Amino acid sequence: MKKAFSVLAFTLVSLLVLDSLVALTLNWAERSGRLGSLVQYFDYGRSVPGKLQKWETTPGAGGNLYDVAWRDDQVAESATRFAAETDPNVPVIRSYGMSFVNHIIRKAVEADQTLTWDSHAGPGAPPNFTYAMFEDDRDFRRSGDIAVLGILSSSVPGMAALSNQTWVFEQPAPFTYPIYWPEGDGLRRVDPLVQSATQHRTLAENPSALADWHNQLSREDYFFSWQTFEAIWADKSPFARLVRRSLATSHVDQTKADIANSDDYPYAEVLGRMVATFATTARSDGQIPIVMLIQSNHPGDADVLAVTTAILQEMGILYLATSEHVDPRDPSKFIPDGHYTPEVDQLFAEQFLELIHNLEPN
Amino acid sequence: MLAYVLLPHKAQNRMLLVASYVFYSAWDWRFLSLILLSTVVDYFVGLRMERETQQIRRKQLLWMSLAVNLGMLAIFKYLGFFADSFQDLIGSLGYEIDPFTLSIVLPVGISFYTFQTLSYTIDIYRRDLKATTDFFDFALFVAFFPQLVAGPIERAKNLLPNIAMPRVLSWEALSRGAVLCLIGLIKKIVIADGLAPSVDAIYSSPDPSRLDIIFATWLFAIQIYCDFSGYTDIARGVSKMLGFRLMRNFAQPYFATSPQEFWRRWHISLSTWLRDYLYISLGGNRGGPRKTYRNLMATMVLGGLWHGAAWNFVAWGAYQGGLLALHRMVVGRMGETGEGVRRTLLAWGLRVLTIAAFFQVVCYGWLLFRAGSFGQITDFTGRLIGLTAAPAGLSIPAPPLAALLGIAFLLFWDALIEISGNVQFYARWPVAVRGALYAGMIYLLAFGATTATSAFIYFQF
């Protein structure tokens, strides 16, 4: 018994010493700008408030996502660009998507320099973000424009979230978006209490607003959890960060599986209605709707073409589905960060150009 | 755990039995009926067989046990497969039949507990074992939760006395069990789950390169070893904490230099079961070389089919049987596993080269095992030998750093067991060194526990 307790005691002491050494090493590495990927690996496990706090205090640091993709900022920028457009008769491609969509349209615009493009995007943006952006930007599109709605398969579970901060644990960009629910023949929009980076920054000094925000997240957002938002003090220990990352990853994966396999959140129905309403709205405004269906390489993703194909065919909506051109199971088509290779993006861009060059004039 | 320690021996057994049934019911309570059926039949068959003096009656009782257990396996595991194969065969002969699909759910662990309980009745039939009179002890032997769903496939001779006799619960066993669990968790979570996405990416890719297939199959060899032996380590660790001694199921299998040695090190509880109850029952090596090779092939093909109702498992079994037969033909029998043998540096060098070469042979077997279909086996084999056009380069996603660190740790750990011939080589190390080692292992586990976890591969068998 004595020996077993000695081993246990030495194990705990060694764990403490090892954790302290790792913490010292990470502090030194961060101060001296070395071992960047190792520092990032351990940073992934910080609590969401811990990561956001770190981003707030180091605004210029690489990978800082605090100020990206807030919808009110994007709408304001869109308004400025809209006002600056010199020839209102030149149709503009107005895209609502994420990096995948941007990569494709950028290649298309490079290939055909007569095209004009106005991008609205968020990192790993879910369809409720892209659709909400499309709705919010309505005043800054003209008749004759091409509206592109991006749907990324790996972001479909985010339709049950109000912000990337609850379901993209490792890179919890705080920008927010609504959750949509089926209602009647259309959709009901539940807007987040926090709508801008400025508003988010003030939460730290306003405990009741913070409590309201967290209450809304716990009520409406399927991914919000104590594992990711509580016990910020534990961020001091690299070991605790690793444990948190494991718990958080497991929680997010489980929630994604629950959304995919149960009727708690009817993502397929909502997605179909989004596509239908997007097309109806664009057409009623004299614009040409195109849906871009991006199938990423995660094996468990929803098949976004299969989910939307009925409504696309029924309404005759133009679309570009990546899975019709490249098998998403082929790893040679992707770069290590999960995006398509430039060659594949070029192929999609050619398909996109073919779509828009064959458009019937309005 | 505290309640378990405080309870008297028989109450401990009842508690474990309830825990085992609750554990199994958590997956699907309806399939508990199969375990109960197997338990009741084999308990009474065992008692009647022991009392019976007429050999013909004993044989009839054995057949009853075989029919019930293998019948359950046949219905739940193989009926759908044979129905599909039958339809394919009829279709290939040009006949048309109305297609039908049997949707039979495979009960978790059925292959393991039916083999375990069969060993009990066969041993009684062979008069190698006395039947137990305590029904609940026997029920615990069949359903003992740590090894219920993926082994080791225990023998009644080993586990029943461990159940029937009071167990000594010691701090040393607790600490040894905890270390086994820790190693098992590192193998499963850090290594196997870390490697799974890389392997899956290539085995679901429509157009992998030759190098992709080679790397993915190497990684799968490590993944399946860590997944399965990780489960075994956890099962043995938990059992040890409860005062049980389960058999060793793996002995550094990739340090083998021949098929015979590999099967003495890989899934030992299954390979010895197949040897004792199938190979020997078929006649073993008693009928001359031709019958020996036939028996080897039959045993290994059925062993392959035990893993799953699919033709690729049959092919894997046939490949292993062929390797064993070929090795026996060329080299003859080999007595020892090589673990703990003293060698010169040159002998070690030669052995390492042989290990590396034989690992490639094992890996081709894993390609057969991992393939999703017969078509994929021919496609991948064609790409490997250049008969099918394949792209150049390497597109397999890189495994995470933690998995690579885990593999390095495991290589070091297994090498020390191999060299010392002692699975508890670290027990003599100073307490402070052991404490530091365990702390490092816990840190490694946390470091690698960030990837998505998946079910144990062998749960499907």
* Paired tokens of A154: 């790996």
Tell which of B186, B450, B451, B453 to mutate to test the A interface (max A CBs under 10 Å). B450
Domain map of chain B by residue range? 2-164, 171-256+337-460
Hey, are the CB atoms on B172 and A243 less than 8 Å from each other?
Answer: no
Chain A hits for B446, Cβ within 8 Å: 239, 242-243, 246
| Residue indicated by tokens 């032997």 | B141
From A217's Cα to the closest Cα of chain B, the distance in A is: 24
From B446's Cα to the closest Cα of chain A, the distance in A is: 6
Hey, are the CB atoms on A246 and B396 less than 8 Å from each other?
Answer: no
Could you read off the pLDDT of B163-180 as tens digits, one per residue? 999 988 888 889 999 999
pLDDT of amino acid B349: 84
Looking at this predicted complex, what is its ipTM? 0.85
Could you read off the pLDDT of B386-398 as tens digits, one per residue? 888 888 889 999 9
313-342 of A, contacting B, C-beta below 8 A: 327, 329-332, 336
Could you read off the pLDDT of B292-349 as tens digits, one per residue? 999 999 999 999 988 887 888 999 999 999 999 999 888 776 555 667 777 788 888 8
Hey, are the CB atoms on B452 and A249 less than 8 Å from each other?
Answer: yes
pLDDT of amino acid B390: 86
Contact A306, A220 (CB under 8 A): no
Contacts 24+ apart (CB under 8 A), B70-77: B70/B114, B70/B118, B72/B34, B72/B37, B72/B38, B72/B110, B72/B114, B73/B110, B73/B111, B73/B114, B75/B104, B76/B34, B76/B104, B76/B105, B76/B106, B76/B107, B76/B110, B77/B106, B77/B110, B77/B111, B77/B308, B77/B309
Percentage of chain B beyond pLDDT 70 is 92
d(CA B285, CA A125): 66
Cβ-Cβ contacts under 8 Å between A and B: the total is 100
Minimal Cα distance from A10: which residue of B? B435
Could you read off the pLDDT of B46-79 as tens digits, one per residue? 999 999 888 999 999 999 999 999 998 888 777 7
3-state secondary structure of A135: helix
Minimal Cα distance from B177: which residue of A? A4
pLDDT of amino acid A57: 87
Domain map of chain A by residue range? 2-66+215-261, 71-197+264-357
pLDDT of amino acid B99: 61
Hey, are the CB atoms on A332 and B205 less than 8 Å from each other?
Answer: yes
From B156's Cα to the closest Cα of chain A, the distance in A is: 31
Could you read off the pLDDT of A256-296 as tens digits, one per residue? 999 988 778 999 999 999 999 999 999 999 999 999 999 99
pLDDT of amino acid B457: 67
B267: annotated active-site residue: no
Write the CB contacts of A209 (distance below 8 Å, at least 6 apart in sequence).
A193, A202, A203
Hey, are the CB atoms on B439 and A336 less than 8 Å from each other?
Answer: no
From A345's Cα to the closest Cα of chain B, the distance in A is: 17
Chain A hits for B397, Cβ within 8 Å: 331, 336
d(CA B39, CA B33): 10
Give B192's pLDDT tier (boundaries 50, 70, 90). Answer: very high
Hey, are the CB atoms on A10 and B435 less than 8 Å from each other?
Answer: yes
Chain B hits for A4, Cβ within 8 Å: 171-172, 174-175
A24 touches chain B (CB under 8 A): no
Give A362's pLDDT tier (boundaries 50, 70, 90). Answer: very low
Hey, are the CB atoms on A11 and B391 less than 8 Å from each other?
Answer: no
The answer to which of A13-27, A322-336, B301-315 has the lowest mean pLDDT is B301-315
Hey, are the CB atoms on B395 and A5 less than 8 Å from each other?
Answer: no
A183 touches chain B (CB under 8 A): no
Minimal Cβ distance to B439: which of A5, A18, A253 = A18
pLDDT of amino acid B41: 93
Could you read off the pLDDT of B342-384 as tens digits, one per residue? 778 888 888 899 999 999 999 999 999 999 888 999 999 999 9
Chain A hits for B443, Cβ within 8 Å: 15, 18-19, 22, 239, 242
Minimal Cα distance from B430: which residue of A? A7
Mean pLDDT (chain A) is 93
**For B102-106, what is the mean pLDDT?**
63
**For B92-100, what is the mean pLDDT?**
67
Residue bearing the bigger pLDDT, A294 or A61:
A294
Instruction: Give yes or no for residue B98 having a pLDDT over 80.
Output: no
pLDDT of amino acid B264: 93
A10 touches chain B (CB under 8 A): yes
pLDDT of amino acid A270: 96
Could you read off the pLDDT of A197-253 as tens digits, one per residue? 999 999 988 999 999 999 999 999 999 998 899 999 999 999 999 999 999 999 999
B353 touches chain A (CB under 8 A): no
pLDDT of amino acid A360: 61
pLDDT of amino acid B347: 80
Mean pLDDT (chain B) is 89
Minimal Cα distance from B438: which residue of A? A11
Instruction: Give yes or no for residue A361 having a pLDDT over 60.
Output: no
Q: Which CATH architecture has domain A71-197+264-357?
A: 3-Layer(aba) Sandwich (3.40)
**For A172-188, what is the mean pLDDT?**
95
Write the CB contacts of A10 (distance below 8 Å, at least 6 apart in sequence).
B431, B432, B434, B435, B436
Hey, are the CB atoms on B171 and A4 less than 8 Å from each other?
Answer: yes
Report CA-CA distances (Å) from A278 to A319, A320, B282. 12, 15, 70
Contacts 24+ apart (CB under 8 A), B309-318: B309/B77, B309/B78, B309/B80, B309/B81, B309/B82, B310/B81, B311/B85, B311/B374, B312/B368, B312/B369, B312/B371, B312/B372, B312/B373, B312/B374, B312/B377, B313/B369, B315/B368, B315/B374, B315/B377, B316/B365, B316/B368, B316/B369
Instruction: Give yes or no for residue B428 having a pLDDT over 80.
Output: yes
Minimal Cα distance from B394: which residue of A? A332
pLDDT of amino acid B82: 67
Residue bearing the bigger pLDDT, B3 or A51:
A51
pLDDT of amino acid A167: 95
Chain A hits for B453, Cβ within 8 Å: 250
Report CA-CA distances (Å) from B272 to A212, B42, B128, B234. 63, 21, 16, 21
Taking alpha carbons only, the member of B48, B34, B54 closest to residue B117 is B34
Chain B hits for A297, Cβ within 8 Å: 201
Give A85's pLDDT tier (boundaries 50, 70, 90). Answer: confident
pLDDT of amino acid B3: 84
